[in-house]
Amino acid sequence: MRPRYVDTGARDTRSGFGAGLVEAAQKDGRIVALAADLMSSVKMDEFARLFPERFFQAGVAEANMIGVAAGLATVGWIPFVGTFANFAAGRAYDQLRQSVCYSGKNVKIAASHAGLTLGEDGATHQMLEDIGLMRGLPGMTVICPCDYNQTRLATLAAAQWEGPVYLRFGRPPVPNFTPPEDPTFEIGKAQVLLTGRDAVIFATGHMVWQALQAAYALEEEGLEVAVINLHTLKPVDTETVVEWLSRTPVAITAEEHQVHNGLGDIISGIACRYCPRWVYRVAVQDTFGESGKPSELLAKYGLTAAHIAQAVRQALARVG
Amino acid sequence: MEQAELERLAAQVRRDVIRMVYQAQSGHPGGALGATDLLVALYFAHMRHVPQPFSETGVGEDVFILSNGHICAAWYAVLARSGYFPLSELATFRRIDSRLQGHPATKEKLPGVRVATGSLGQGLSVGIGIALGKRLLGDPHRVYVMLGDGELNEGQIWEAALFAAHHKVDNLIAIVDRNYKQIDGDTRAVMNTDPLEAKWAAFGWAVLSLREAHNLPAILKALEEAVAQSGQGRPVVLIAYTTMGKGVDFMENDYRWHGKPPNAQEYARALAQLPEVLGDF
């Protein structure tokens, strides 16, 4: 009998970050935080209330905020900077590159509202290129947790991790299905949520739940599909990826990100090098998003459990 | 340190700069020569700093950041002559396997450098962060950030200027290397930043002007005034009116010497104006 993951009640991943940040700061007096006029949206308000002397409002000026964080890290503080993914990875890319990564500064980037599920604000704010941008930076660790509980744990882990971390999470409530305390969660270690011999789905972020639903739907067609949660995109758990590529004839990737430079490319690269397999990619197909409800956007841009299940069927048809 | 000794150091650093850039056949001599007196004054007579053992955090000492990282030939020479690393290492400037990168970097662990600079506009923000970090720690030392005046075109500088005033970062002294030159020409032709004092004042900074930015006693007096203005709830900026290429007549005030090395003839002419006074690297 395969495990059934159950939604214990939808919660937003950004609130998982907010809770984790407060806990991390209670444990470690070196943690400071900066926000760029999105303190409440990024759920840093509780930190600011509890630790006013360790919180700095930077205004709508992300480039400067990243630089100030690099300076605080130089002195030995552990800064978390919070803003939307677009304004962190996109707008302040060169600051992350030079002042943080090249300079080896221990700065944690809390990148909220990533992906299409930001919703009604539309494509200006729907960051879909950030995994590619961030994983290309030497020294950057990239984490995209799957639900509220995991985002809280990822925040606590990031606080203890030595070096820059890009922590990607989202806006809307999504199913919360991982345990509040999860000994299997470790930066850089993929989680095998479901085993299976017919196909493997590698998923990250909000798409992990969708991948599980796809696997359950395919069970009714007699297919046993593995689901791997790749919450850490860099450093990637190559060993686990290769193991599951080798155990199954086809691989499917699922991510709330452009088809280029993200999880699909990561898995394809590993497959090319170590274990050739057909890799089918469920991702945004080189286009910008638009306004709409998160569920409508996921449906229109092909990022639902049904789309993942269909990709599995197509992949299996290809290999016969 | 006595004035005569500081002047000898400045003369030798200028010679170091020309020799480094010539030997590497690349680098930025003009700005380096222009900022030499400021750097010598800071490191040999003003800042409280600890060359050995080098502390990357800079806790318990004054910290300097060269935001206009391209003029690092002069900074490297000053750091080496201050005892941060062996003088002989200046010969590796811009070469493969060197700690003396084309723009300052931390990856190779060059003592004296605490953050990478070169992509312009970023150093002031980092300096503000270090100043805030010192304030949180209760470390009374200051942070000095040198900025190029062409660099002031970058929007991040003005984000940082707003932030420092808003957060009353008054343990920070910015020094603008005001030579009115940038790569494509005179700043007034490329992207005008006048009136500069009024801009910083409008952003809430205490503003000081230094007209004699190659006169060491005048520089030291201006730095002391900057210190006197610090600690009063406002960041301080010192606008230093420098001459690009100072010390080599054919490089002075000529923006074309921003980023090119001298040829053999030019090198000989330059060295003739910069005699060896303290021993070459």
Taking only the tens of pLDDT, chain A with its 320 residues reads 789 999 999 999 999 999 999 999 999 999 999 999 999 999 999 999 999 999 999 999 999 999 999 999 999 999 999 999 999 999 999 999 999 999 999 999 999 999 999 999 999 999 999 999 999 999 999 999 999 999 999 999 999 999 999 999 999 999 999 999 999 999 999 999 999 999 999 999 999 999 999 999 999 999 999 999 999 999 999 999 999 999 999 999 999 999 999 999 999 999 999 999 999 999 999 999 999 999 999 999 999 999 999 999 999 999 97
Does A102 contact chain B (CB < 8 Å)?
Answer: yes
**B116 interfaces chain A, CB cutoff of 8 Å:** yes
Bridge-based pairing state of the strands B172-178 and A31-35: unpaired
Whether B105 and chain A come into contact, CB under 8 Å, resolves to: yes
Q: Which residues of B150-189 are buried (b: 16+ CB within 10 A; e: fewer)?
A: bbbbbebbbbbbbbbbebebbbbbbbbbbbbbbeeeebee
Q: What is the mean pLDDT of each run of 10 residues along chain B (281 residues)?
A: 95 98 98 98 98 98 98 98 98 98 98 98 98 98 98 98 98 98 96 98 98 98 98 98 98 96 98 97 97
Q: Length of chain A, please?
A: 320
Contact at CB, B116 and A61, closer than 8 angstroms: no
Q: B197 with B239: CB under 8 angstroms?
A: yes
Helix, coil or strand: residue A136: coil
pLDDT at A320 (0 to 100):
79
The candidate with the shortest Cα–Cα distance to B163, out of A152, A135, A228, A61, is A61
Asked if B59 reaches chain A (Cβ–Cβ under 8 Å), the answer is yes
Tokens 């680098």 found at: B27
Interatomic CA distance for residues A195 and A95, integer angstroms:
41
Q: Count Cβ–Cβ pairs < 8 Å, chain A vs chain B.
A: 117
Residue B257, token pair as written in the block: 């010497």
Bridging pattern class, strands B143-148 and A141-143: unpaired
- Cα separation of B100 and A230, whole Å? 39
Contacts of A40 (CB under 8 A, 6+ apart): none
pLDDT attached to residue A232: 98
Q: How far is A182 from B113, CA to CA, in rounded Å?
A: 41
- Tell me the two tokens of residue B228: 């006197």
Contact B174, B238 (CB under 8 A): yes
What distance in Å separates the CA atoms of residue B35 and residue B76, rounded to the nearest whole number?
12
Residue B174, pLDDT score: 99
Predicted local confidence at residue A102, as pLDDT = 98
- Chosen for mutation from B122, B139, B141 (greatest number of chain A CBs closer than 10 Å) is B122
Q: Residue A135, Cβ neighbours under 10 Å: how many?
A: 20
Cα-based torsion angle of the residue sequence A262, A267, A271, A272 in order, rounded to the nearest 10 degrees? 10
Residue A205 structure tokens? 């972020």
> Does B168 reach chain A within 8 Å, measured CB to CB?
no
Distance of CA B164 to the CA centre of its chain: 20
Residue B64 CA to residue B62 CA, distance in Å, equals: 7
**CB atoms B162 and A95 under 8 Å:** no
Neighbour-count burial of A151, counting CB atoms closer than 10 A to its CB (0-12 exposed, 13-18 middle, 19+ buried): buried
Q: What percent of chain B has pLDDT over 90?
A: 100
pTM for this structure?
0.98
Instruction: Give the whole-angstrom CA distance, residue B16 versus residue A249.
Output: 64
